[in-house]
Amino acid sequence: MTTDIYEKEKKLLTPERGFDLVGIDYFSDSENQLYLVEHFEMYQDALNAKKDRKNPEEYFVLYKGTNGELFCR
């Protein structure tokens, strides 16, 4: 997946409020590798859901900062 496509997908999946747990589908075509797993209102809940996954390194949490910047953890 190229960096530009990856960044575009992350931007599209980042919620205006709250936190989205996002997964990576390595077998999908190059423009649809990211997918929404679940939305959470609290960061700790999203982080716990990520840790509970079989392969947590294949998931990350997307959210917007107070100034509208995008974060991925």
Alpha carbon distance 63, 71 (integer Å)? 5
Return the pLDDT at 21: 97
Q: What is the pTM of this model?
A: 0.86
Return the pLDDT at 64: 95
HSE on the CB side for 60, CA within 13 Å? 15
Res 5 pLDDT > 70? no
More confident residue, 64 or 33: 64
pLDDT digits (tens, 9 = 90+) for 17-62: 999 999 988 887 767 889 999 999 999 999 999 999 999 999 999 9
**Rg of the chain over all Cα atoms, to the nearest angstrom:** 12
Nearest CA to 44 out of 66, 63, 68 is that of: 63
Nearest CA to 8 out of 26, 27, 31, 25 is that of: 31
Token duo for residue 31: 């423009």
Q: What is the DSSP letter of 57?
A: G
